[in-house]
C-alpha cells in the first residue's frame, strides 16, 4: 500500500483490524496521545478549544554545552497542578483528568490527588463540566466518569472505606468511549448526551 510520503508501510502488524474485527489502531498509544489527537481534531474542526495544561516548573540550573543548545539540569515543580486538561465547549468550561491503569478489576483512588479532586469540585460548583477519562489498558477500554460520581467514593475513602473504584462501578456509572480514527476518544459525544 502506498502512503502519502510514497513509502510502503514497514510493519504488517500495524494493521488497524485483527482477524476478530476488533480495532487495534490504538495499541501502543497512550491515553494522553489519544486525547491530544482528539483535541487537535476538535480544534481544527472548530468544535472546541481544549488543551493540556502545562505543569509549572521552576528552572534552577541550566548547562550551555553550545551556545545554541541549553540543557536544563535541575528544576522543580512550582506548585501542585490541578487537572490535566481544560478548555471551552458550547460555552461551558471543560476540565478533566486523564488516568490509565493496568489493573483489570479496579481503579485505585491513589491515582488522584486531593488538590485535583478539590479543583474538580470547584469547577462543578461554578457550573463547569468536570470528569475523569479512565483507560483500562489491559482491557483496551476508555471510560468517561463524571466527577459527581467520583466525589462520594472519594469521601468514603477518607472515612477509611474502599480505596479504589471497582471496574463494575466505572462500567455501570461511567460511559464507554469507543475508539475512532480521527476523534480517537470522542468524550464530547458523552458531554452532549449528559449536559446538552
Which positions make up the binding site? 82, 84, 97, 116
Task: Assess contact for 132 and 97: CB atoms under 8 A.
Answer: yes
d(CA 101, CA 136): 5
3-state secondary structure of 33: helix
Q: Give the cell for residue 48.
A: 472546541
Task: Assess contact for 122 and 98: CB atoms under 8 A.
Answer: no
Task: Assess contact for 163 and 153: CB atoms under 8 A.
Answer: no
Q: Give the cell for residue 68.
A: 545554541
Sign of CA dihedral 38, 179, 93, 85: negative
Residues near 85 by beta carbon (within 8 Å), at least 6 away in sequence:
35, 39, 50, 51, 52, 53, 94, 95, 96, 97, 98
Give binding residues for Mg(2+) as ranges: 82, 84, 97, 116
Amino acid at each position: 500500500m502506498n502512503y502519502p510520503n510514497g513509502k510502503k508501510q514497514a510493519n504488517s502488524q500495524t494493521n488497524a483490524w485483527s482477524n476478530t474485527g476488533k480495532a487495534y489502531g490504538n495499541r501502543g498509544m497512550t491515553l494522553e496521545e489519544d486525547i491530544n489527537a482528539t483535541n487537535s481534531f476538535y480544534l481544527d474542526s472548530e468544535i472546541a478549544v481544549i488543551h493540556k495544561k502545562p505543569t509549572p516548573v521552576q528552572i534552577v540550573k541550566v548547562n550551555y554545552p553550545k551556545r545554541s543548545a541549553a540543557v536544563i539540569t535541575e528544576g522543580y515543580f512550582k506548585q501542585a497542578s490541578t487537572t490535566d486538561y481544560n478548555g471551552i465547549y458550547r460555552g461551558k468550561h471543560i476540565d478533566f483528568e486523564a488516568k490509565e491503569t493496568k489493573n483489570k478489576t479496579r481503579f485505585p483512588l491513589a491515582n488522584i490527588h486531593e488538590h485535583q479532586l478539590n479543583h474538580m469540585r470547584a469547577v462543578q460548583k461554578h457550573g463547569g463540566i468536570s470528569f475523569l477519562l479512565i483507560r483500562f489498558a489491559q482491557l483496551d477500554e476508555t471510560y468517561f466518569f463524571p466527577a459527581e460520581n467520583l466525589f462520594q467514593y472519594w469521601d468514603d475513602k477518607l472515612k477509611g472505606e474502599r480505596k479504589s473504584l471497582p471496574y463494575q462501578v466505572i462500567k455501570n456509572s461511567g460511559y464507554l468511549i469507543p475508539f475512532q480514527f480521527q476523534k480517537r476518544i470522542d468524550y464530547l459525544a458523552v458531554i452532549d448526551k449528559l449536559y446538552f
